[in-house]
């Protein structure tokens, strides 16, 4: 199994790098450039016009790896395909959003209620399919305490939907500076590789391996100064992939520690908005989410990337330790 996961990783890595060299010039010719938020940091204005929708680069690598390796085991377990289709469904929502932004030449795509409605629909369908095929139980495992308990099916469905929507949008918020969402997600994906190997879950392992390879290949183009942005196409795919893997492995609560950076970013946004409304305009942070606050405090993008990625690595290790005795 280890060899197959490594091959999956390498295929995804190579295809992503090749796709980057091919796809980025095409995006430039199509003038599919990023529009920068007017209320964002003023120094981000020099990023205006950088090609976006770059998530297709690592998505191409992952799809290629799953296409080659996805049927090797012969076990009949197709959960990796469900995870891929689920992630691609979120990527499609992101692509529609990105397309509208590029077409309108402004940072406004789908309306919030449209994105939420589409995400909710995808989440419900995925949960139903995974449960139908026996890859989603209603048993909740509590990491670090090695304790499990059974939830009634309907409350568990609602819980799973909350996990999906929360995770997907948290990853999306994290994608705010060059390479950040990519760098933070690589350790998360590596943790899923090791968890899958530990538990002998071939399907999840080959998908997680492909995710690692695709992101490493994409980081070559996405690291500061970024030659391309992943856009909502990429960030929604990543969010879908992370929560789908957690649910397929029946460890959604592990995302509390494994996705610590995502949720810190989201929490900073919630605190900022809530405090702003309660105090009629006062702020806790100089700018939300957290990475923008740190930029306003003088941190450059290299430092934010390095610190956040290091935190993600540490918590990925902690998370793995938390389930090792299951």
pTM of the model: 0.93
Span 249-258, average pLDDT: 95
Is 308 within 8 Å of 293 (Cβ atoms)?
Answer: no
Tokens of residue 29, six digits: 């010719």
Q: What is the pLDDT of residue 38?
A: 57
More confident residue, 312 or 114: 312
What is the band of 100 on the pLDDT scale with cuts at 50, 70, 90?
confident
d(CA 222, CA 176): 12
Q: What is the pLDDT of residue 3?
A: 92
Query: Per residue in 38-72, is it b (16+ CB within 10 Å) or e — as a string?
Result: eeebeebeebeebbbbbbbbbbbbbbbbbebbbee
Q: What is the pLDDT of residue 111?
A: 84
CA geometry: angle 16, 20, 26, nearest 5 deg? 140
R_g over Cα of the chain = 19
SS3 239: helix
Considering only 74-83, 129-138, 167-176, which range has the smallest mean pLDDT?
Answer: 74-83
Question: β-strands 147-150, 139-142: how paired?
Answer: antiparallel
Does position 93 have pLDDT exceeding 70, yes or no?
yes
Does position 1 have pLDDT exceeding 90, yes or no?
no
Does position 72 have pLDDT exceeding 60, yes or no?
no
- Report CA-CA distances (Å) from 153 to 93, 125, 128, 147, 216: 28, 15, 11, 19, 38
pLDDT > 70: what percent of the chain? 91
pLDDT > 90: what percent of the chain? 71
More confident residue, 1 or 205: 205
d(CA 169, CA 178): 18
Q: What is the pLDDT of residue 77?
A: 64
pLDDT tens, 141-199?
999 998 999 999 899 999 999 999 999 999 999 998 999 999 999 999 999 999 999 99
Tokens of residue 229, six digits: 């942005």
More confident residue, 203 or 315: 315
Is 56 within 8 Å of 19 (Cβ atoms)?
Answer: yes
Q: What is the pLDDT of residue 75?
A: 52
Biggest CA–CA distance in the chain, Å, is 61
SS3 122: helix
Considering only 23-37, 40-54, 118-132, 288-302, which range has the smallest mean pLDDT?
Answer: 40-54
Q: What is the pLDDT of residue 15?
A: 98
């Amino acid at each position: 199994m280890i060899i197959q996961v490594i091959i999956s990783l390498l295929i995804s890595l190579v295809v992503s790098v090749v796709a980057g060299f091919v796809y980025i010039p095409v995006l430039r010719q199509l003038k599919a450039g990023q529009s920068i938020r007017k209320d964002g940091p003023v120094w981000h204005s020099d990023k205006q016009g950088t090609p976006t929708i770059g998530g297709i680069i690592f998505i191409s690598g992952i799809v290629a790896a799953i296409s080659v390796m996805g049927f090797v085991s012969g076990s009949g377990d197709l959960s990796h395909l469900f995870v891929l289709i689920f992630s691609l469904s979120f990527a499609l929502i992101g692509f529609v959003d990105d397309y509208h932004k590029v077409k309108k030449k402004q940072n406004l795509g789908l309306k919030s209620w449209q994105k939420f409605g589409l995400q909710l629909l995808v989440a419900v369908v995925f949960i139903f399919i995974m449960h139908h095929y026996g890859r989603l139980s209603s048993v909740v495992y509590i990491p670090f305490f090695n304790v499990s308990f059974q939830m009634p099916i309907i409350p568990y469905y609602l819980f799973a939907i909350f996990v999906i929507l929360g995770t997907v949008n948290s990853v999306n918020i994290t994608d705010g500076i060059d390479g950040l969402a990519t760098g933070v997600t690589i350790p998360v994906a590596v943790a899923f590789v090791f968890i899958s190997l530990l538990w002998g879950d071939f399907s999840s392992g080959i998908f997680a391996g492909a995710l690692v390879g695709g992101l490493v290949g994409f980081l070559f183009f996405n690291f500061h100064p970024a030659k391309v942005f992943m856009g909502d196409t990429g960030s929604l795919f990543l969010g879908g992939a992370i929560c789908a893997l957690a649910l397929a492995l029946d460890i959604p609560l592990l995302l509390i520690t494994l996705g610590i950076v995502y949720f810190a970013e989201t929490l900073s946004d919630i605190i900022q908005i809530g405090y702003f409304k309660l105090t009629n305009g006062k702020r806790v942070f100089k700018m939300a989410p957290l990475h923008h606050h740190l930029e306003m405090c003088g941190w450059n993008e290299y430092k934010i990337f390095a610190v956040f990625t290091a935190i993600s690595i540490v918590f990925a290790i902690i998370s793995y330790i938390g389930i090792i005795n299951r």
